[in-house]
Amino acid sequence: MAFENLGDRLNGIFKKLRGKGRLNEKDIQEAMREVRLALLEADVNFKVVREFCAATAERCKGKDVLDSLSPGQMVVKIVHEQLIELMGGRPDGARGAQDDKIAISSKPPTVIMLAGLQGAGKTTMAAKLAGHLKRQGKRPLLAACDVYRPAAIRQLAIIGEQVGAEVFERGQGDPVEIAREAVEYARRMGRDPVIVDTAGRLQIDDGLMDELRRMKAAVNPREILLTVDAMTGQDAVNVASAFHEALGIDGILLTKLDGDARGGVAISVKAVTSKPIKFCGVGEKLGDIEPFYPDRMASRILGMGDVMSLIERAQDAFDEKAAADMERKLRKQQFTLDEYMEQLNQLAKLGSIADMLKMVPGIGKKLRGIEIDEDKMKRAQSRNVAIIRSMTPLERRNPDLLNASRKRRIAAGSGTTVQEINTLLKQFDQARGMMKQMIGAGGKGFKSPFRGF
């Protein structure tokens, strides 16, 4: 997980500071020296590290820290605020002039042009972004303009279909002309935005930049987003600088953020390019994309959790109409095995259990070094669903009917054992009991936990 090593190092430094009743300038200097090393080991740009530590040390030497009754906590607060500013946010959580959202053209369609080196995950990120915008009610069009990489067009067509976005392609033609035709097609067919997947190269060269500049002139993109691989470290920062100088980018899409425990690119790239990170890829699935919030990322780095992202993930996973129907049934005490199965399916959409728990303040630190067997949990989820589906509708509505012979029949039909069926029924009884308690405690103000997200 990104920033795991950095978070461990920083929290070790802060633990030493919290153990002291008072701080002096020597304590601050020693702490900043360790912070500097931690950031450098996390692959944060050297110049960025130097400026960050200088600004942080200056604030930490202030009277409000040295005279504070809890100076260690004050230092953590300052480091948190400095990290937020470094990654493009404001400590109060407000947005600056460069919002992290996609800028929308006054006259549709909005054209979003993706650029980047080969292997950065640009094509996959294009589909992820299309899926994200589609969930917001947009009708995105993916333009297949990577005509050089083998099977790139086919790849975009497959993953475009998986996220429900139309793909415009004209084979191995002129990518500039294909992009122009895609925009015209989108204008006629009411598709908006147009996401242009351009060709990458193994390294920056004049031919690549010239093609991108011609494409920019042809389609006049509202946003040029550079796709950057978080696992390439300082090379990614150098690439971002070169693309920005040659093309003029508007923002950054950070891929594979889940695959590098250092994560220094996320901290460096905004400071180097002055352009915000707009979205980050946090997993291999096409739904694993998140808007980048500097304040939330700073909290994750320092082990403070990220409750807002957890809530938003739940909002995306749970269907509002289904949640309202669930609430109505709960009020009438109609929580059956059908509802329980629906609950299991909805929870599965939230993704990795470990990643969710790390977003809860205080839990992430306790999980360090603990392996959560996600595959085992998924198998248990699939097994429980199979058991419920092997029951008759009457049995799902009234589990008390499940005698020994019925259980043997269900076990044979679901490929499970009677013991596993008994375990499921025990879990169901516990969930039903919890629901009754919530109804009793909530009264008229009761809301389903699914809607609470």
Neighbours of 331 (CB within 10 A): 12
Between 62 and 409, the higher pLDDT residue:
409
Q: Determine the CATH number of domain 312-452.
A: 1.10.260.30
For the stretch 219-271, pLDDT in tens is: 999 999 999 888 877 778 888 888 888 889 999 998 887 766 566 788 888 88
- pLDDT reading at 435 higher than 70: no
Mean pLDDT in residue range 128-153: 91
State which H helix or E strand residue 142 sits in: strand 141-145
CA distance 253 to 227: 5
Residue 453 banded pLDDT, cuts 50, 70, 90: very low
Q: Which residues contact 393 (CB under 8 A, 6 or more apart)?
A: none
Rounded to the nearest integer, the mean pLDDT of the chain is 79
Quick one: pLDDT at residue 100?
Answer: 55
Mean pLDDT, residues 159-169 taken together: 94
> Which stretch of 96-100, 133-137, 156-160, 197-201 has the lowest confidence by average pLDDT?
96-100
The b-or-e profile of 172-211 (16+ CB within 10 A means b, else e) is eeebbebbbbbbebbeeeebbbbbbbbbbbeeeeeebbeb
pLDDT of 349 reads: 63
Angle subtended at Cα 404 by Cα 399 and Cα 407, rounded to the nearest 5 degrees: 60
- The string of pLDDT tens digits covering residues 189-202 is 999 999 999 988 77
Max Cα separation, the chain? 76
Q: What is the pLDDT of residues 275-294, one digit of tens each?
A: 889 998 888 888 888 888 88
Residues 6 or more apart whose Cβ sits within 8 Å of residue 80: 91, 298, 299, 302, 304
Specify the higher pLDDT residue, 62 or 411: 411
pLDDT tens digits, residue range 40-49?
Answer: 888 888 888 9
Q: How confident is the model at residue 76 (pLDDT cuts 50, 70, 90)?
A: confident
Confidence category of residue 140, pLDDT binned at 50, 70, 90 = very high
- Residue 448: burial class (beta carbons within 10 Å; 0-12, 13-18, 19+): buried
Q: Which of 245-254, 303-312, 348-357 has the lowest mean pLDDT?
A: 303-312
Residues 367 and 360 sit within 8 Å (Cβ to Cβ): no
In this predicted structure, the answer to whether residue 113 has a pLDDT above a threshold of 60 is: yes
- Order of strands across the sheet with 111-115? 166-168, 141-145, 194-198, 111-115, 223-229, 251-255, 277-281, 289-291
- % of the chain exceeding 90 in pLDDT: 29
d(CA 257, CA 92): 25
pLDDT at position 91 is 59
pLDDT at 127 > cutoff 50:
yes
How large is the average pLDDT for residues 100-125? 88
Confidence class of residue 89 from pLDDT cuts 50, 70 and 90? confident
Helix (H, G, I), strand (E, B) or coil at 139: strand
Query: What integer pLDDT is reported at residue 109 of this predicted model?
Result: 93
Average pLDDT rounded to a whole number, residues 151-177: 93
Q: Which of 29-33, 188-192, 215-219, 298-302 has the lowest mean pLDDT?
A: 298-302
Total residues found in the chain within this entry: 453
111-304 is classed CATH 3.40.50.300? yes
The full set of domain ranges for the chain reads 4-86, 111-304, 312-452
pTM of the model: 0.68
What's the pLDDT score for residue 451? 40
Helix (H, G, I), strand (E, B) or coil at 101: coil
pLDDT per position as a tens digit, 365-411:
555 555 656 677 778 888 888 999 999 999 988 888 999 999 999 99
Between CA 127 and CA 360 the distance in angstroms is 29
| Span 165-172, average pLDDT | 92
Which H, E and C letters describe 259-294, residue by residue? HCCCCHHHHHHHHHHCCCEEEEECCCCCCCEEECCH
User: Which range, of 9-18, 154-163, 273-282, averages the lowest pLDDT?
Assistant: 9-18
pLDDT at 305: 53
Whether the predicted pLDDT of 447 surpasses 50: no
Residue-wise pLDDT for 325-339, tens only, equals 655 655 555 678 887
What is the topology classification, in CATH, of domain 4-86?
Four Helix Bundle (Hemerythrin (Met), subunit A) (1.20.120)
Number of H helices and E strands in the chain, helices first, is 22, 8
Task: In whole angstroms, give the CA distance from residue 356 to residue 363.
Answer: 10
